[in-house]
Structure 1
Amino acid sequence: MNPRNVSLEAAALERFMRATRAVNAAFDATRGEPDFEEGGRSVARSLERLDAALRELETSGQSLDAILSRRAGH
């Protein structure tokens, strides 16, 4: 196996895992967000953070899938 491919796979997997943790943290922040002060801006920020984390999770998952598919020869 090519060491460069192993490195790409490891980096893609790490990115995916970071994205997963970010989604969990962002989701937890929205669930624990009782503060509707500032005209709901804190809630909006929490939801924006969750949306960004979900987009990164999707992108990182697609990248990981592409790398692993190339490795499998698909």
Structure 2
Amino acid sequence: MIELALKTAADLGYGVLLLIGAPGYYPKFGFLPARAHALDLQQFKVPDNVFMVREIRAGQLAQIKGRANLPTGVF
């Protein structure tokens, strides 16, 4: 499912994906701690190692900074 999500995101033209997830699982798909890349999550208080980002298109991660806002009702 993760591989399909990555392919779909790329096909739709997304540059990066953000997620809150298990730090022992998602890094094998290329996800990295988001806060280490100057991205902040204000809506939910989660440990730094569970808020992750994955670059979909080369160079896109370097172009984004700031706060991530997940749609309401997700959790």
Report the TM range for the smaller structure's normalisation: under 0.3
Query: What TM-score, normalized by structure 2, do the two folds share?
Result: 0.23
Query: What TM-score, normalized by structure 1, do the two folds share?
Result: 0.24
Q: Indicate the structure whose relative CO is greater, using CA pairs within 8 Å and at least 6 residues apart.
A: 1
Instruction: Tell which structure's C-alpha radius of gyration is larger.
Output: 1
